[in-house]
Structure 1
Amino acid sequence: MERLILDGIGRFTGDIVTQVTHFAPWLRNHGFRAGISETLTAVAALAELNLDSMDEVCSAFRAIYSRTPAEWGIFPSLFERYFCGRGVRLEEKRRLQPDDSIGGAGAGRQTERPPGETVQGFLAGYHPYDGERFALRADERVLKDVVQFTRLAVRTMDAPRGRKWRSRGREKIDLRQTMRCALRLAGEPFVLRMRRRRPDKPRIVLALDISGSMKPYAPFLAALAWSFTRARARTQIFLFSTRLLRVTSLIARKGVSGIPLSDLPGLRGGTRIGGALEQLLRRYPSLLHRRTCVIIASDGFDAGHPERMHTSMRDLAGRVGRVVWINPLLGEPGYEPASAGMSMALPYIDAFIDVHDAATWKKAVLGGALRRSAP
Structure 2
Amino acid sequence: MEHLTAAIGSLTGSIVRQVTEFAPWLRDHGFRAGVPETLTAIAALTELNLTSIDEVCFAFRSIYARTPAEWGIFPTLFEQYFGIREARLQEKRRLQSDDLLGGTVAGEKAERPTLETVQGILAGFHSSDGERFALRADGQVLKDVVKLTQLAVRTMDAPRGRKWQSRGREKMDLRRTIRSALRHSGEPFKFKMRRRRPDKPRIVLVIDISGSMKPYAPFITSLAWSFTRVRARTQIFLFSTRLLRVTSLIARKGVEGIPYGDLPGLRGGTQIGGALAQLLHRYPSLLQRHTCVIIMSDGFDAGNPEQMHTSMRDLAARVGRVVWMNPLLGEPGYEPTSVGMSMALPYIDAFVNVHDVATWKKAVLSGALRAAAP
TM-score by length of 1: 0.68
Task: Quote the Cα distance in structure 2 between the aligned partners of 1:170 and 1:62.
Answer: 60
Distance 1:71 1:201, change over 3 A: closer
Deviation (angstroms), 1:280: 1.0
Corresponding residue pairs, total: 304
Q: What residue is the counterpart of 2:109 in the other structure?
A: none
Distance 1:160 1:36, change over 3 A: closer
Distance 1:41 1:80, change over 3 A: farther
Deviation (angstroms), 1:175: 2.8
Task: Tell me if 1:312 matches 2:318.
Answer: no
- Asked if the contact 2:295–2:323 (Cα under 8 Å) also holds between the matched residues in 1, the reply is yes
- Asked if the contact 2:203–2:294 (Cα under 8 Å) also holds between the matched residues in 1, the reply is yes
- Asked if the contact 2:291–2:321 (Cα under 8 Å) also holds between the matched residues in 1, the reply is yes
Task: Quote the Cα distance in structure 2 between the aligned partners of 1:144 and 1:19.
Answer: 48
2:306 is paired with a residue whose SS is helix
Q: What residue is the counterpart of 1:75 in the other structure?
A: 75
1:135 is paired with a residue whose SS is coil
Equivalent residue runs for 1:165-184 within 5 Å: 165=164, 172-173=172-173, 175-176=175-176, 179=179
Distance 1:18 1:144, change over 3 A: farther
Task: Tell me if 1:275 matches 2:267.
Answer: no
Task: Quote the Cα distance in structure 2 between the aligned partners of 1:199 and 1:365.
Answer: 21
Deviation (angstroms), 1:257: 2.1
**Residues 90-112 of structure 1, C-alpha deviations (whole Å, 9 max, x = no match):** xxxxxxxxxxxxxxxxxxxxxxx
Distance 1:194 1:243, change over 3 A: same
Task: Quote the Cα distance in structure 2 between the aligned partners of 1:342 and 1:19.
Answer: 52
Deviation (angstroms), 1:320: 0.9
Letter in 2 for 1:250: L
Task: Tell me if 1:230 matches 2:229.
Answer: yes
Deviation (angstroms), 1:306: 0.4
Equivalent residue runs for 1:142-157 within 5 Å: 142-157=141-156
**Residues 67-101 of structure 1, C-alpha deviations (whole Å, 9 max, x = no match):** 2376686435653687477689xxxxxxxxxxxxx
Q: What residue is the counterpart of 2:105 in the other structure?
A: none
Task: Tell me if 1:351 matches 2:350.
Answer: yes
Deviation (angstroms), 1:195: 2.3
2:222 is paired with a residue whose SS is helix
1:198 is paired with a residue whose SS is strand
Distance 1:61 1:41, change over 3 A: farther
Equivalent residue runs for 1:246-325 within 5 Å: 246-325=245-324
Q: What residue is the counterpart of 1:338 in the other structure?
A: 337
2:161 is paired with a residue whose SS is coil
Gaps of 5+ in 1: 10-16, 46-59, 89-132
1:253 is paired with a residue whose SS is helix
**Residues 241-274 of structure 1, C-alpha deviations (whole Å, 9 max, x = no match):** 1111112222222222222334322111111111
Deviation (angstroms), 1:172: 2.5
Q: What residue is the counterpart of 2:55 in the other structure?
A: 63
Task: Quote the Cα distance in structure 1 between the aligned partners of 2:150 and 2:286.
Answer: 21
Task: Quote the Cα distance in structure 2 between the aligned partners of 1:77 and 1:225.
Answer: 24
2:269 is paired with a residue whose SS is coil
Which of 1 and 2 has greater Rg? 1
- Asked if the contact 2:240–2:266 (Cα under 8 Å) also holds between the matched residues in 1, the reply is yes
- Asked if the contact 1:182–1:189 (Cα under 8 Å) also holds between the matched residues in 2, the reply is no
Distance 1:42 1:194, change over 3 A: closer
Letter in 1 for 2:79: F
Distance 1:41 1:226, change over 3 A: same
Deviation (angstroms), 1:299: 0.9
Task: Quote the Cα distance in structure 1 between the aligned partners of 2:133 and 2:82.
Answer: 16
Gaps of 5+ in 2: 63-69, 90-131
Task: Quote the Cα distance in structure 1 between the aligned partners of 2:352 and 2:246.
Answer: 24
Distance 1:240 1:314, change over 3 A: same
RMSD (CA atoms): 4.0
- Asked if the contact 1:202–1:234 (Cα under 8 Å) also holds between the matched residues in 2, the reply is yes
Task: Quote the Cα distance in structure 2 between the aligned partners of 1:306 and 1:145.
Answer: 37
Letter in 1 for 2:153: V
Q: What residue is the counterpart of 1:159 in the other structure?
A: 158
Distance 1:8 1:346, change over 3 A: closer
TM-score by length of 2: 0.68
**Residues 147-184 of structure 1, C-alpha deviations (whole Å, 9 max, x = no match):** 1001101111122223234999566246349849989x
Equivalent residue runs for 1:103-252 within 5 Å: 135-165=134-164, 172-173=172-173, 175-176=175-176, 179=179, 194-252=193-251
Q: What residue is the counterpart of 1:100 in the other structure?
A: none
Task: Quote the Cα distance in structure 2 between the aligned partners of 1:334 and 1:236.
Answer: 34
